[in-house]
Chains A and B, each alone.
Chain A
Amino acid sequence: MSDSHAIDLKKHVRAYILVFVSLMVLTLVTVTVSRFHLPVHQAIAIALIIATVKGSLVACYFMHLISEKKLILWVMGLTVLFFIVLLWIPVATVTDRIGT
Chain B
Amino acid sequence: MEIPYTVEVRPDTGLNSGKIGIWLFLASEVMLFGALFATYILLRVGAVEWPHGEHYLNIPLATLNTIVLISSSVTMVMAWASLKRDDFGKFRLYQAATVGFGGVFLVVKYFEYSAKFHHGYFPKTNTFLAIYFTMTGLHMLHVMGGMAVNAYLWGPGAKLWKTDPEHFTNRVENSGLFWHFVDLVWIFLFPVLYLL
Contacts and interface: CB of A to CB of B under 8 A. Distances in A.
Interface of A: 1, 5-6, 9, 12-13, 16-17, 19-20, 23-24, 27, 30-31, 34, 40, 43-44, 47-48, 50-51, 54-55, 58-59, 62-63, 69, 71-72, 75-76, 78-80, 82-83, 86-87, 89-91, 93-94
B30 interface: yes
Contacts of A31: 59, 63, 195
Contacts of B88: none
Interface of B: 13-15, 19-20, 23-24, 26-27, 30-31, 34-35, 37-39, 41-42, 45-46, 59, 63, 66-67, 70-71, 73-74, 76-78, 81, 84-86, 176-177, 180-181, 183-184, 187-188, 190-192, 195-196
Contact of A55 (B34, B71, B188): B188
A40 B39 CA distance: 19
B66 A27 contact: yes
Contacts of A16: 74, 77-78, 81
Contact of A75 (B24, B71, B184): B24
15 contacts: A1-B85, A1-B86, A6-B85, A13-B78, A16-B78, A19-B74, A20-B71, A27-B66, A27-B70, A44-B196, A58-B184, A62-B76, A78-B27, A86-B31, A87-B38
Contacts of B38: 86-87, 89-90
